[in-house]
Amino acid sequence: MRLLIRKARILDPSQGLDLEGDLLIEEGRIVALDREIPPPSDCEIFEAQRLWALPGLIDLHVHLREPGEEWKEDLETGTTAAAAGGFTAVACMPNTRPPNDSPEVTRYLLSRAREVGRTRVWPVACISKGQEGRELAPFGELKEAGAVALSDDGRPVADSGLMRLALEYAASFDLPVISHAEDPGLSAGGQVNEGPVAARLGLKGIPAEAEAVAIFREVRLAALTGVPVHIAHVSTALSVEILRRAKEEGLPVTAETAPHYFTLTEEAVLEYNTQAKVNPPLRTEVDREAVRQALAEGVIDAVATDHAPHSPLEKEVEFPAAAFGLLGLETAVPLTLNLVREGLLSPLRFAELLSTAPARILKVPGGTLKPGSPADVTLIDPDLPWVVTEEELHSKSKNSPFLGWEMRGRAVLTLVEGEVRWRLR
pLDDT, position 210: 98
The closest alpha carbon to 209, from 132, 287, 292, belongs to: 287
Binding residues for substrate: 63-65, 95, 279, 310, 324-325
Domain 2-52+373-423 is classified in which CATH homologous superfamily?
Answer: Urease, subunit C, domain 1 (2.30.40.10)
Is the preceding peptide bond at 280 cis, omega within 30 degrees of 0?
Answer: yes
Q: Are 192 and 274 in contact (CB under 8 A)?
A: no
DSSP bridge pairs for 416:
419
Rounded CA gap, 188 and 206, in Å? 8
pLDDT, position 142: 98
Q: Are 88 and 56 in contact (CB under 8 A)?
A: yes
| 56-362 belongs to CATH 1.10.1740.10 | no
The CA-atom distances, in angstroms, between 306 and each of 61, 141, 296, 303, 332 are 5, 26, 20, 9, 10
Rounded CA gap, 375 and 368, in Å? 9
Catalytic residue numbers, as ranges: 306
79 Cβ partners below 8 Å, 6+ apart?
A: 64, 90, 113, 116, 118, 119, 121
- Sequential pLDDT tens for the chain (425 residues): 799 999 999 999 999 999 999 999 999 999 999 999 999 999 999 999 999 999 999 999 999 999 999 999 999 999 999 999 999 999 999 999 999 999 999 999 999 999 999 999 999 999 999 999 999 999 999 999 999 999 999 999 999 999 999 999 999 999 999 999 999 999 999 999 999 999 999 999 999 999 999 999 999 999 999 999 999 999 999 999 999 999 999 999 999 999 999 999 999 999 999 999 999 999 999 999 999 999 999 999 999 999 999 999 999 999 999 999 999 999 999 999 999 999 999 999 999 999 999 999 999 999 999 999 999 999 999 999 999 999 999 999 999 999 999 999 999 999 999 999 999 98
47 Cβ partners below 8 Å, 6+ apart?
A: 6, 7
pLDDT, position 66: 98
Q: Are 180 and 169 in contact (CB under 8 A)?
A: no
354 Cβ partners below 8 Å, 6+ apart?
A: 54, 57, 58, 302, 303, 332, 333, 336
70 Cβ partners below 8 Å, 6+ apart?
A: none
- pTM, rounded to two decimals: 0.98
Binding residues: 61, 63-65, 95, 153, 180, 233, 279, 306, 310, 324-325
pLDDT, position 304: 98
pLDDT, position 346: 98
Rounded CA gap, 166 and 169, in Å? 5
Give helix 237-248 / helix 208-225 axis angle, nearest 10°. 20
Q: Are 40 and 340 in contact (CB under 8 A)?
A: no
Count of H helices and E strands in the chain?
14, 18
pLDDT, position 328: 98
The segment(s) of the chain belonging to CATH 2.30.40.10 are 2-52+373-423
The CB-side HSE value for 401 (13 A sphere, CA atoms) comes to 27
The segment(s) of the chain belonging to CATH 3.20.20.140 are 56-362
Q: Are 343 and 100 in contact (CB under 8 A)?
A: no
The closest alpha carbon to 393, from 380, 382, 404, 383, belongs to: 404
Binding residues for Zn(2+): 61, 63, 153, 180, 233, 306
The closest alpha carbon to 87, from 359, 371, 402, belongs to: 359
In the three-class reduction of DSSP (H, G, I as helix; E, B as strand; rest coil), residue 168 is classed as: helix
